[in-house]
Structure 1
Amino acid sequence: MDYSGKGSVVTYEKNDYTPGYLDPIHQFNQTFTESILESISDGVFTVDSSWRITSFNKAAEKITGIPRMKAIGRRCFEIFRSNMCGKDCALQKTMETHNPVINRSASIINSQGEKIPISVSTALLRNRDNEVIGGAETFRDLSIVEKLRNTVAGRLKVGEMVTRSYSMIKILDVLPQIASSDSTVLIQGETGTGKELIARAIHNYSDRNEKPFIAINCGALPDSLLESELFGYKAGAFTGANKDKIGRFAMAEGGTLFLDEIAEISPALQVKLLRVLQERSYEPLGATKTVHSDVRVISACNGNLPDLIKEGQFRQDLFYRINVIKIQLPPLRQRKEDIPLLIEHFVNRFNDTQEKSIKGVNQETMALLMNHDFPGNIRELENIIEHAFVLCNGGYITTKCIPEDTRKQKYVEMKSQGMEKAVNAVESQAIMEALKRNNFNRTAAARELGIHKSTFFRKIKNLGISLPHVDGRFNHTTQERIKEAPLY
């Protein structure tokens, strides 16, 4: 590909004298070129004047997850689903201006529904008579670069989850180990903390990732319907059952079944679920034969199952079956350092889906959100940002774009110093928690937070945080000030 400005790509045509014949030199050159394109790590594809894909190399298959034969002949925007498609297409710009685009940042959605950051370069595609017959594009997967950037910034991104919170990083770090087994998992956390995202991440890390991930909310259906949804039924099993219907266990065969709000299952249905987990078999309603099941079960609840066991509402033996591995997700009010990251994540997502160019939130809005308790957790924050996108046309999101009930909170009357106070509160919380985890070893705490030791010491001084003496001994004043240090 030539980026000199002409944007030409060498192509090879049939010999003018013998139809269907390639002379040995052209045949060698064409084979050699194809070998190079198949060997490089950058994705390469070409389109004709109608935007239909005419070539698609091996790296393009790997990055997009789409087989070559499925891509060839389809329009490029159907394959890539990029944030540039339809409004700021680099390849379209090259086709219209005859000027190449070099290393433009963009993103695509792969076949698994994951957003992949890429770097794009484009050029014109010409035939041997120098006539423009289409366009060519190379794209480089920047996922590793993005991961390194997040690591340097002290944050971690797994699927749709992004965090710099120590408590969340600990959870995300062990997900690959959890995924490597078939043990049941119980995810506990308040509504909106991302329980299904964790379940999906476990599935995607596991050897079952090419099989289905099936989710069902057990609290959304009455008991009579829930049983047939889980196990399916045979024709004639009850009035209206005119034909067989498979259940969620059958749909998830070989994969993962996510049972959300499992505490809502009735005692009678708990017995049947216990049998599936113990014997890996079940009978659909109206069936006479047992069906064997190869499904990993991940459950979730926002209540306290041990309390329900004491009240006789949940079986203890089922609890032990679903609770081989337990994950406790912290509420957003306990990981406020993640709020700016999550806001950035949602702004980027809604910019893509709603084709807007919102830059972020202004200082007053950030202060408002940093001081909100978020009873609905991450889902509430996502809802707030989506609400703001409807009302905000460009620039930065202001408090006027935030839902009225959020704006009315009595503790958000913060003006010029609001952002500084909010950030200081979050930094104080993060520093105190890191110090306590590391027995007040400042060097270790700074390393955990991913900041230089001198920067860490400066923040401690500026925020007025008192620490034990270097030798570890406390005086009474220091102890009292540490206990009284604000967390929010």
Structure 2
Amino acid sequence: MRGTAWVSDYPLFTAFWNVITAALKRKPTLRKERHSFLNYLLFGLQRNFRVTTQEHTLRDRNTTNPKHQIIKGIAYEQKNGILTDQWLELLDELNIGAFTVNLQRSITSMNYAAQALMGLDENEVEGKDCREIFTGVPCLVDCLLRENSGCQTDEPDVEIKDENDRKHILTRLATPIYDPNQNVAGCLTLLQDHSPIVDLIDKIHYEERSNKSILDNLDVGMFTVDRGGHITFFNNEAERISGYSRRELLGKHFTEIFEEDAMQDSYQLKESIDNGSTRSSHHGKITTKDGETIPVRANYMALKNKKNTIVGGLTTFHDLTLIHQLKQAISGRYTFHDMVGKDPTMQQIFEKVSVIAETDATVIIEGATGTGKDLLAKIIHSTSKRVGKPFVKVNCAALPDNLLESEMFGYVKGAFTGADRDKPGRFSEADGGSIFLDEIGDLPLSLQAKLLRVLEDKEFYPLGSRRIKKVDIRIITATNRGLESLVEKKLFREDLYYRLNVFKIELPALKDRRIDLPILIRHILRRLCTASDNRPARISEEAMELLLKFHYPGNVRELENILEHALIICRDDVIRPKHFPDYMQHLDAPSEPETLSSPITGGETDNAEKQHILKVLRQNNWQRSKTAQVLEMDRTTLWRKMKRHGINR
């Protein structure tokens, strides 16, 4: 009956097998490459080499003693004449040098690999004492045969030179060969030329070191992960940005440094690995070892092996901290607390406010509706030494005349019908802080005299009281009507006007500061998105063009309303013209109406504007306030145009 037997059933193989496994067991600190080679050798023999036998007697199913199997195997080999040659040929196939000796130390066989390695021919050495042939090479056989110990031995790797004077590193292993009676009959010595393996490993190590050196010298952070997202490589720049050393992160999940909620990094990298795709220029954040959040721009891609199988992912990232700092620095030049503007007029206003905020000087803020008078008043208070004290606002146009006095100055119990208790007024509430009188031009003349006394003496009588109330307040006023013209029309007390007009600030209309529109739009959008807890929205080119060309009769307040309307209507992250109010969508051409405040081009038109301004100035006796009213522009705009056209009285 024909059968198939593993080579481990043969005694010569057993000797071969024993010498390798013994070396592995005795040398736990064996060099990595040598240990790997030996394991590979065992695996290859087990998996790939079989011999065909005529009888199925090599494996006695009723015999469990491995020695009996070995004895039967030896007997079978001797009977069929396949003792040594077949095994030496097998070792030739593995490029392993081997020779055998008998008890007299005479060489009985030597395979081609050993002959090539030693530079000897088998005919030259057969029958000779192995100690004569291998002069200069420590012979392991002597110990085995002399002591007849039956133990496998191995020595450290040694170097030899062949006939061409080439250097070889040999791994040498020896083991006894037993006869059927389990007596030592000879010895098998293996000679493995380790030089090609060492050269290959050195080459791999060199290439690996070279690649790592290149990656470590890149000015971009880089790390690789396996399919599970665990970090397998972390370069020097990644260490610098994150503050972690590669030893701390190798084997850990990459989300330990990337913030998942910042830009859903885990999804980006996971999708790249799952789909084999590349994702570029995604903005995210890294949490450093110190807990600091670093803005980064990251790229993701899948890593594939030679078989085009995805084995992991690669992430590169740039530190955007400096870019963000530069942006903030640039933005800071055009930002004054919650107000933004790079228009020269706004820059001058910011400088003035920085100076007057440190004083208690009374301030008048003039400007059209929606230009930000309320906001500027709050900024003046919040940047003054009175910050932390009350800031009280009174809208003089919103209260009826018969209630305005009691609201502003308060009253005592019994002052009028229904006054069943004392009530402090707004001035009392603002004691120690600032009071903001909005629409001061609508204050009745009867109250203007009382306000004048507060300005002069810092005291007043509450309604129905004979006791003076002293207050320490700063007065800030605002109006969308020119107080000078109201004084001329006897609608505002001249003495009060001059008491209030210590420092005047004129806020320009939005149509006169178009250079500020882009940064205003970004600033307002960012504030609205933050307040509503929405993702930052982008504006399409068409929508931005429409916003830049619209004339904004309601000034900044109208711009805020338009953007808030768009954010409510918009269901994605991009604002388009369709998201704006109807009155903007129905414009035939989103262009600014033709007004004298619009930019003028062309010599004839420029001269016509100059002549028109001169005419109106003469009609109003060169009074700029009246002239600006007639021309429907701010005094600042009029002054700028007069300067541009060289108009002097």
Task: Tell me if the contact between 1:357 and 1:394 (Cα under 8 Å) persists in the aligned partners.
Answer: no
For 1:250 and 1:154, how far apart are their aligned partners in 2? 37
Q: 1:175 to 1:413 in 2, by over 3 A?
A: closer
For 1:97 and 1:224, how far apart are their aligned partners in 2? 70
For 2:331 and 2:470, how far apart are their aligned partners in 1? 47
Partner of 1:251: 429
Partner of 1:265: 443
- SS state at 2:364 partner: strand
For 2:547 and 2:555, how far apart are their aligned partners in 1? 12
Partner of 1:359: 537
Q: Which segment is superposed worse, 362-371 or 322-331?
A: 362-371
- SS state at 1:243 partner: coil
Larger Rg: 2
Partner of 2:334: 156
Structure 2 matches for 1:118-157, cutoff 5 A? Answer: 121=287, 149-152=327-330, 155-157=333-335
Partner of 1:349: 527
Shift of 1:308: 0.8
CA deviation vs aligned residue, 1:103-147 (integer Å, no higher than 9, x gap): 9989xxxxxxxxxxxx99488xxxxxxxxxxxx96679xx99978
Task: Tell me if the contact between 1:150 and 1:156 (Cα under 8 Å) persists in the aligned partners.
Answer: no
- SS state at 1:345 partner: helix
Task: Tell me if the contact between 1:190 and 1:302 (Cα under 8 Å) persists in the aligned partners.
Answer: yes
Partner of 2:563: 385
Partner of 2:235: none
Q: Match for 2:377 among 199, 209, 212?
A: 199
Q: 1:380 to 1:288 in 2, by over 3 A?
A: same
For 1:231 and 1:333, how far apart are their aligned partners in 2? 39
Q: Which segment is superposed worse, 150-159 or 339-348?
A: 150-159
- SS state at 1:187 partner: strand
Matched, 1:289 2:446: no
Shift of 1:377: 0.3
Partner of 2:550: 372
For 1:289 and 1:219, how far apart are their aligned partners in 2? 28
Identity of aligned residues (%): 40
Task: Tell me if the contact between 2:366 and 2:506 (Cα under 8 Å) persists in the aligned partners.
Answer: yes
Amino acid at match of 1:176: S
Q: Match for 1:333 among 492, 498, 511?
A: 511
Shift of 1:406: 2.3
Structure 2 matches for 1:335-484, cutoff 5 A? Answer: 335-412=513-590
Shift of 1:153: 5.7
For 1:178 and 1:105, how far apart are their aligned partners in 2? 41
Partner of 2:256: 99
Partner of 1:319: 497
Amino acid at match of 1:311: K
Task: Tell me if the contact between 1:171 and 1:327 (Cα under 8 Å) persists in the aligned partners.
Answer: yes
For 2:475 and 2:450, how far apart are their aligned partners in 1? 14
Partner of 2:3: none
Task: Tell me if the contact between 2:550 and 2:591 (Cα under 8 Å) persists in the aligned partners.
Answer: no
For 1:340 and 1:316, how far apart are their aligned partners in 2? 41
- TM-score normalised to structure 1 length: 0.56
For 1:413 and 1:307, how far apart are their aligned partners in 2? 33
Shift of 1:287: 1.6
Partner of 2:346: 168
For 1:147 and 1:300, how far apart are their aligned partners in 2? 36
Amino acid at match of 1:254: G
CA deviation vs aligned residue, 1:307-352 (integer Å, no higher than 9, x gap): 1111111000010011100001110001111111111112112211
Task: Tell me if the contact between 2:529 and 2:537 (Cα under 8 Å) persists in the aligned partners.
Answer: no
Task: Tell me if the contact between 1:219 and 1:261 (Cα under 8 Å) persists in the aligned partners.
Answer: yes
Matched, 1:231 2:409: yes
- SS state at 1:348 partner: helix
Amino acid at match of 1:281: E
- SS state at 1:412 partner: coil
- SS state at 2:435 partner: strand
Partner of 1:479: none
- Alpha carbon RMSD of aligned pairs, Å? 3.4
Q: 1:292 to 1:337 in 2, by over 3 A?
A: same
Q: 1:356 to 1:308 in 2, by over 3 A?
A: same
Task: Tell me if the contact between 1:283 and 1:291 (Cα under 8 Å) persists in the aligned partners.
Answer: yes
- SS state at 2:537 partner: strand
Shift of 1:241: 1.9
Amino acid at match of 2:515: E
Shift of 1:152: 3.2
Q: 1:379 to 1:228 in 2, by over 3 A?
A: same
Task: Tell me if the contact between 1:184 and 1:325 (Cα under 8 Å) persists in the aligned partners.
Answer: yes
For 2:542 and 2:421, how far apart are their aligned partners in 1? 59
For 2:322 and 2:447, how far apart are their aligned partners in 1? 45
What residue ranges of structure 1 are gaps of 5+ in the alignment?
1-95, 107-118, 124-135, 415-424, 429-481, 484-488
For 1:105 and 1:299, how far apart are their aligned partners in 2? 44
Shift of 1:242: 2.0
Matched, 1:181 2:359: yes
Runs of 4+ in 1 over 6 A off after TM superposition: 102-106, 143-147
Shift of 1:382: 0.2
